[in-house]
């Protein structure tokens, strides 16, 4: 995470809801990790490739192939992965969904994301 101070990193792990509620108006919202990605990517030329984290390996392989650089899926490290048994929606209350939808509305629309219900 881009949270450089120890207190913020601890807050993310201890109380995700409190962290999301503090984002609006926070200096963290200017950090590249938390800023709306649509704003960061707006400088890219039309047609630029934008990979998606949810199929990181596939997208990285595509880029590496275009660059003619050798890489195999086994070469891609996996760090800081979340518990695969917990759906991300379990972390979001309706209030948190509202905050995130408000903060990142352009990202959600531009990249075709929506909040799913826990399955």
23-50 tens-digit pLDDT: 888 888 788 888 899 888 888 888 888 8
SS3 label, residue 107: helix
Predicted local distance difference test score (pLDDT) of residue 118: 66
Return phi, psi of residue 40, to 5°: -65, -40
What is the chain's mean pLDDT, rounded?
A: 82
* CB distance 71 to 61 below 8 Å: yes
What are the start-end ranges of the H helices in the chain?
Answer: 6-14, 16-22, 37-41, 56-66, 94-103, 105-111
Q: How far is CA 74 from CA 39, 55, 57, 77, 78, in A?
A: 33, 15, 10, 8, 10
Q: Is the pTM of this model over 0.85?
A: no
* CB distance 29 to 35 below 8 Å: yes
SS3 label, residue 25: coil
């Amino acid at each position: 995470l881009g949270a450089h101070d120890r207190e913020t990193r601890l807050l993310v792990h201890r109380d995700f809801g409190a962290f999301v509620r503090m984002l609006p108006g926070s200096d963290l919202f200017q950090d590249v990790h938390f800023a709306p990605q649509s704003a960061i990517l707006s400088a890219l030329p039309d047609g630029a490739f934008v990979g998606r984290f949810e199929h990181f390996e596939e997208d990285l392989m595509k880029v590496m192939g275009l660059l003619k650089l050798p890489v195999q899926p086994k070469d891609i490290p996996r760090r800081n992965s979340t518990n695969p048994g917990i759906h991300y929606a379990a972390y979001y209350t309706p209030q948190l969904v509202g905050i995130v939808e408000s903060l990142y509305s352009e990202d959600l629309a531009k990249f075709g994301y929506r909040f799913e219900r826990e399955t």
